[in-house]
Amino acid sequence: MGIIVQKGNVSIREMEPTKQDFSIFLKWMTDPETMKFWDGMSIHFTYETVIKKYQEHQEEQVEQCIIEYDGAPIGYCQYCLLNAAYFEVPADEYARFVSDGELVYGIDIFIGEVHLRNRGIGTQSLSLLVSFLLKEKGADVILIDPKIHNTRAIRCYHKCGFEDYFIVPRRELQDGIYHDSLIMGIRKEYGN
């Protein structure tokens, strides 16, 4: 299947419109241990809504990927091209970190298999995705937007080299509460 990047036990491949991928994604989207950090607990996914969401992402050119560990699906990540308006952040804050004409990717990630969290696999997976976007896709900047209370995710992103850029107050509505987002970024110069 379409592996985009692989290192050690971890590989990242394109999500396929198959029963296998839709079913595992549905399992994760109905697990409160994932949903409380993702779309929230008040969104109820079904097999049909998983397919609909997959198709919407395809239309929006959001690249959807499955993370595999030793060949088994364990998580999900996605990436897409961004600008300030699409990312729903203030243009002046964005312009402090991104210059006109730069290629900017936004990413999201989760490890769906809960027992595999806190073992370094998220850091391994995200580092792989970052190196793919910088080296293969020519990204100038990569942005990620954890809610400020998601301290584990923020720790993981710091370990991968992301820096804190700015906070956007009340940017994300989840389960009836508006949460602040921490916009974090990593530039192509990272590691050089």
Ligand X SMILES: CC(C)(COP(=O)(O)OP(=O)(O)OC[C@H]1O[C@@H](n2cnc3c(N)ncnc32)[C@H](O)[C@@H]1OP(=O)(O)O)[C@@H](O)C(=O)NCCC(=O)NCCS
Question: Is residue 110 near ligand X by the rule CB under 6 A?
Answer: yes
Q: Strand pairing of 63-69 and 72-81?
A: antiparallel
Question: Is residue 158 near ligand X by the rule CB under 6 A?
Answer: no
Nearer to ligand X, 17 or 191 (CB): 191
Which of residues 12, 29, 111, 139 is near ligand X by CB under 6 A?
A: 111
Of 59, 150, 53, 70, whose CA–CA distance to 110 is shortest? 150
Q: What are phi and psi of 156, to 5 degrees?
A: -60, -45
Q: Strand pairing of 141-144 and 177-187?
A: antiparallel
Query: Given the structure tokens 């809504």, which residue do they identify?
Result: 49
Instruction: Please report which helix (H) or strand (E) contains residue 68, including its range.
Output: strand 63-69
What six digits make up the tokens of 164? 């804190």
Q: Among 5-13, 48-56, 83-91, 112-120, which window interacts with ligand X (CB under 6 A)? A: 112-120
Give the gyration radius of the chain's Cα atoms.
16
Q: Among 6-14, 17-25, 86-94, 103-111, which window interacts with ligand X (CB under 6 A)? A: 103-111
Question: Is residue 179 near ligand X by the rule CB under 6 A?
Answer: no
Question: Is residue 83 near ligand X by the rule CB under 6 A?
Answer: no
Question: Is residue 152 near ligand X by the rule CB under 6 A?
Answer: yes
Question: Is residue 121 near ligand X by the rule CB under 6 A?
Answer: yes
Question: Is residue 37 near ligand X by the rule CB under 6 A?
Answer: yes
Distance CA 81, CA 190 (A): 19
Contacting residues toward ligand X, per CB under 6 A? 34, 37-38, 109-111, 117-123, 146, 150-153, 155-156
